[in-house]
Amino acid sequence: MNCIIVDDDKLSCKVLEGYVTKYSSLNLIGVFYDAISARNEIIKHKDIDLILLDIKMPEMDGFDFIGSLDHPPNIIIVSGESEFALRAFDFNVVDFLLKPVTYSRFCKAIDKTIRYFSPKEYSPGEDEEIFIKKGSTLVKLKLKDIVFVEALENYVTLNTKTDKYTIHFTMKAIESQLPSSVFLRVHRSFIINKSMIKTIKENSLDITIGNTVKNIPVGKSFKDSLLNDINVMAK
């Protein structure tokens, strides 16, 4: 996995550089002491998979840097300021590391990133729990409690039977994190929990949400995978 380090603290960069060198799955592309130089590098090279990013930097801070990227790669925040942690998850970062960072904590964050980056090698279980930011708090949510996911411009909404959570995530990224044994993408804007399917029609399907039924469109390119994924007993 190709990565870069972006931090104006040269000592911190040196520590992280050593950690990256030790971790066999990482390939260090470059070290940048300001966000603008890092952004120019990312625009030129599309093969950067991970950014180890500080927040407090001159000219452009870490949050502005992330916001300036159309399709940011995986990001791990490495900061000496713990108050940035909650806000960081608004930007869909993989992890937040508080300086000084130990190698063991670094490894844990990279292991987590690899699960994001290589979904085919890692399939989360349906009982796995995630934390979703809602307002100023983090709410624990079981993956199997998600009824459907809907794309909303640069965000997605995770819909349960009782609530809705909007997060800064792409459909491709969220699809890779949901267990295929439970979830199926049926449209460019919808992923559904297969256990909630009530009926399948020509170009749509109905799912049950508590006592209500919601109609979900089925895209032409997704119809075959839907039918291949369910057990059909036809006469």
**pTM tops 0.85:** no
pLDDT at residue 38, rounded to an integer: 94
Fill in the amino acid letter for 58.
P
How far is 142 from 200, CA to CA, in rounded Å?
26
Helices and strands, number each (H, E), in the chain:
7, 15
Count other C-beta atoms under 10 Å from residue 216's C-beta.
Answer: 18
pLDDT at residue 232, rounded to an integer: 55
- Residue 88, classified by CB atoms within 10 Å of its CB into exposed (0-12), middle (13-18) or buried (19+), is buried
Fill in the amino acid letter for 157.
T
222: DSSP letter: H
Q: From first to last of its 235 residues, what are the pLDDT tens digits of the chain?
A: 899 999 999 999 999 999 999 999 999 999 999 999 999 988 887 788 899 999 999 899 999 999 898 778 899 999 999 888 888 877 878 899 999 999 999 999 999 888 766 544 444 555 677 778 777 788 888 888 899 999 987 789 999 988 888 888 888 878 877 888 889 999 999 999 998 999 998 899 999 888 889 999 999 888 888 887 776 544 4
How far is 52 from 185, CA to CA, in rounded Å?
31
pLDDT at residue 234, rounded to an integer: 45
Domains and CATH numbers, the chain: 2-121 (3.40.50.2300), 129-229 (2.40.50.1020)
